[in-house]
Amino acid sequence: MRKSRKLIAVLATLALLATLLVPMVGPAAAATNMWCPNVKAVTDGTQTEIGSLFIDIDPGILSRTDESMEIKLPSDVDLIGTVGKGTANDPAKEIMVVAPVSVGGDANAINNLAWLTATKDTNKLTITLDASNANFSSLDTYLRIYFNKVDIESGFEGEIKATVTSPTNFPAGSVVLANCGGGEAEIAIDDVNVVTESGDALEDITIEENVGGAVKDEQETIELTLPKGFEWSNLNITGAWGFSGHAVVNAIPTPGQMKIGWTLSTDKDTLKLHLGKKSTDKGRIIIKAKLDIDETEADLGDVEVELSGATDVKPDTLVVAKYAEYGATVKEGTVAEVFAGRSDAKINEFYIEENSAGSLYEGRSINLTLPSWARWPGNINDVKYTVDDGNIVLGDKKYVDDERHILKIKVDTKSTSASTIKFKKDTKIELAPNAKGDLEIEVSGTAGVSGKVKVATVKAPVTITASATPDVKIGMSGQAAGELTITEVAAGALMEKEAPYDGKLKLELPPGVVYTSLPKVEVTEGNVDLGTVTTEAKDDETNRVLVIPVNSESTKASTIKISNIKLTLFRTVPEGPVTVKVKGDAVQKTSKDRTCTAPYVESDEWMNLTTVVSANNAVVTTPAPGELKAKVVFKIGDAKYTVNGVEQTLDVAPYIKDGRTFIPVRYAAQACGVTPENILFSEGKVTLIKGDKVIQLTIGSNVMLINGTGITMDVKAEIKDGRTMLPFRWVAQALGAKVTWDEATQTVTMEL
């Protein structure tokens, strides 16, 4: 299980440790520490026992003469009675200095304490060494000084400390031996486990006194109440230190009995601890337990115990566990800012965190899916991750699709401790030139995790704006378009030549639109260095692309102005905006990047993503002459027809054959807005061109081609009286006209 370390009872522990870690005095002082193993709770105005003082002694000190130290108590605490020396504590002596345990040297001299003199004076004990006749060089031990009875004046309150000083090489420092008129207990838990179901164990809960008898009342009750939906189970309670002699019973003990009793409330959510007799030395109670969980009532999150009853146990609440369902969550780290059209865009870190151990299923997979305009690096080993917490083991990784949008990672071994998978920052991914906005990775798969995580914000390396969008007409040249302004988002956004990239910025016009002449190109801000401006063909249309080389990148974000733009529009251009697309290796480095490792390959779809940004700098609003909108009415068997109500004459009257109306090709085409020069005849084929549509019919065939795509008609084109006759409805609808038939009047109406 994942553990989150929490130490609530830290203050009392640190206070105790501070008394143990004393500084060494003088260059020869080598005592490691001094301490009190049995801090007492005492009352003022009494003669009573206080805690004992233990002092580590460097054997080198014992081998010298005239080493001395003073042990001083507070001025309101007097040493009384006699000082004894021996090998064990004698409670009959008010002060007892106990010899070290011999592990070498002259054991008799040690046990007789001939080498030690101890004298007292009011609240001060002086100890002097005389080691002239003994060898203690191999000792490894400590002195023990028992204060079996001292006199505490009335009105004294607070800690009773022994302050050790030495004019020679003994250790020095202060140690708390007792607490007068105070004391408390701290409840703590070292680690907080994640629990997911009944029977999950908690870490040990401890209730620790800072002095003996801190939990004052002999019938003190300590209540620990769990939140709704949780119950105590598998309880195992023990006493330690001052409570080590207390028996533990599942009952309320009789007053005065050295017992710790425990009981549970009826609904088992409250654990009650009862003391039959308080401690004399500071005590500790250790609670081992598991939780029973009602999933319909328990809330996810921290499991917080409330304390009541004993007023001397702090704090009032304690988090003992975190309740979580099986599963894993996806978390974002910092978010990078990257440019579109780059193959080396670096995302930042993100995480997959298990809610509890074993949440991600063994033998199953985690899928990481990028948007269609992003893909993982060509070399799969460049995707790096680590297991920061826990012990889940991940196996092989592979791309699911050739475009490298989906990365699959297998879970080889499930965790026994809740794990965090960290996907490292600076993983390089590729971004299509048209990428924009938040880059989110969708996490899914069969391993048991789902969600989305934002790893970068994508922006175009440049922006483009047009000063105006004037109206232009098809079939005309030298028409003015709006000025264009290209601005770098940051210095160096326009990239210079670097093999295999040519460092050229390209402004591409739509099909049928070309530059009449070279526009004026100038840098108005910043310091990007541009080369000689030219044009190049696109799809066999000369001068359709404006080419601006970048000689050297900017160190200050730059602005490029393109003015005096003149356009020529062919008759095939449809109505609507003239869109200029910004392309080229100066703004993208993906189309030539073929570094992916087998079996992964570049896709044609990805290779065709080349536009970074675009802008409209003109609008085609007026069609060419002869392509005006109209309403045309033909009548079967009548050579007369009307165009917008004006009567005109056919050279062959319309007729019906096989349920279809046939009309001479030239009149049928012109009625649909095709100009005479766009009606072409060649070797039994008729070609009609209108805007972006090319219609082809072959005499004797029922297949009509629309921009090269075959459409099967239910009749065939034919020749009658030397005229090419076409099935009117099929042709009209292919050219975007609406056709209706009136049976009563035998008329065909066509509306553009």
pLDDT at 304 over 90: yes
Tokens read off for 719: 């020749």
d(CA 339, CA 431): 8
Q: Which of 138, 128, 494, 123 is nearest to 342 (CA)?
A: 494
The amino acid occupying position 737 is A
The answer to whether 19 and 173 have CB atoms below 8 angstroms apart is: yes
Domain coordinates in residue numbering, the chain: 10-180, 185-323, 328-459, 462-622, 631-751
Correct CATH for 462-622 of 3.30.960, 1.20.140, 2.60.40, 3.10.20: 2.60.40
pLDDT of residue 475: 74
Assess if CATH 3.30.457.10 describes domain 631-751.
yes
Backbone dihedral angles phi then psi of residue 571, each to the nearest 5 degrees: -70, -10
Residue 34's pLDDT band, with cuts at 50, 70 and 90, is: confident
Q: 3-class DSSP state for residue 110?
A: helix
Q: Which of 357, 418, 419, 414 is nearest to 385 (CA)?
A: 419
Q: What Å distances lie between residue 437 and 451, 452, 454, CA to CA?
A: 18, 15, 10
pLDDT at 133 over 80: no
The sign one gets for the Cα dihedral 334, 340, 345, 351 is positive
Q: Where in 156-257 does DSSP place strands (E)?
A: 158-165, 173-180, 185-189, 191-195, 200-201, 205-209, 221-225, 230-241, 247-249
Q: Which of 441, 353, 348, 423 is nearest to 384 (CA)?
A: 423
Q: 3-class DSSP state for residue 212?
A: coil
How many CB atoms are closer than 10 A to CB 522? 11
**Do strands 660-664 and 655-657 pair parallel, antiparallel, or not at all (unpaired)?**
antiparallel
Q: Which of 153, 133, 164, 169 is nearest to 36 (CA)?
A: 164
pLDDT at 520 over 70: yes
Tokens read off for 48: 């009573």
With 0-12 / 13-18 / 19 or more C-beta atoms within 10 angstroms meaning exposed / middle / buried, residue 436 is middle
**Same CATH topology for 328-459 and 631-751?**
no
Place of tokens 């309740």: 323
pLDDT at 306 over 80: yes
Q: Which of 365, 385, 198 is nearest to 298 (CA)?
A: 198
Window from 15-24, 61-70, 446-455, 687-696 with minimum mean pLDDT:
15-24
Give, rounded to a whole angstrom, the gap between the first and last alpha carbons of the chain: 74
pLDDT in tens, 144-175: 899 999 999 998 988 899 999 987 667 788 99
d(CA 669, CA 717): 14
Question: Residue range 273-290: average pLDDT?
Answer: 91
The answer to whether 592 and 441 have CB atoms below 8 angstroms apart is: no
Please calculate the CA angle 370-374-380 and round it to the nearest 5 degrees: 75
Assess if CATH 2.60.40 describes domain 10-180.
yes
DSSP 167: S
**Do strands 313-314 and 185-189 pair parallel, antiparallel, or not at all (unpaired)?**
parallel
Backbone dihedral angles phi then psi of residue 75, each to the nearest 5 degrees: -65, -20
pLDDT in tens, 72-101: 999 999 999 999 887 788 999 999 988 665
The amino acid occupying position 749 is T
DSSP 676: G
Q: Where in 210-300 does DSSP place strands (E)?
A: 221-225, 230-241, 247-249, 259-264, 270-275, 283-293
d(CA 699, CA 705): 13
The amino acid occupying position 9 is A
With 0-12 / 13-18 / 19 or more C-beta atoms within 10 angstroms meaning exposed / middle / buried, residue 66 is exposed
d(CA 594, CA 602): 7
Tokens read off for 453: 């995580």
pLDDT at 476 over 90: no
Alpha carbon 543 to its chain centroid, in Å, reads: 49
pLDDT of residue 30: 37
DSSP 63: T
The answer to whether 258 and 221 have CB atoms below 8 angstroms apart is: no
Q: 3-class DSSP state for residue 59?
A: helix
The H or E element spanning position 120 is strand 116-121
d(CA 231, CA 291): 6
Window from 60-64, 118-122, 282-286 with minimum mean pLDDT:
60-64
More confident residue, 146 or 569: 146
Place of tokens 């009392």: 12
The answer to whether 694 and 707 have CB atoms below 8 angstroms apart is: yes
Question: Residue range 235-244: average pLDDT?
Answer: 94
pLDDT at 443 over 60: yes
Question: Residue range 256-282: average pLDDT?
Answer: 91
Backbone dihedral angles phi then psi of residue 46, each to the nearest 5 degrees: -130, 160
**Do strands 541-552 and 529-530 pair parallel, antiparallel, or not at all (unpaired)?**
antiparallel
The sign one gets for the Cα dihedral 46, 52, 55, 61 is positive
pLDDT in tens, 405-429: 999 999 999 998 889 999 988 888 9
pLDDT at 627 over 90: no
Tokens read off for 538: 């696109």
Query: In the CATH scheme, what architecture does the domain 185-323 have?
Result: Sandwich (2.60)
Q: What Å distances lie between residue 146 and 10, 34, 89, 178, 200, CA to CA?
A: 28, 14, 7, 13, 46
pTM: 0.52
Q: Give one word for 284, left, alpha or beta, with left for phi > 0 and alpha for psi -120 to 50.
A: beta
pLDDT in tens, 591-622: 554 444 444 445 545 556 788 999 999 999 86
Contacts of 677 by beta carbon, 8 Å cutoff, 6+ apart? none
Q: What's the CATH code, domain 328-459?
A: 2.60.40
Q: Which of 581, 303, 617, 331 is nearest to 453 (CA)?
A: 331
pLDDT of residue 667: 83
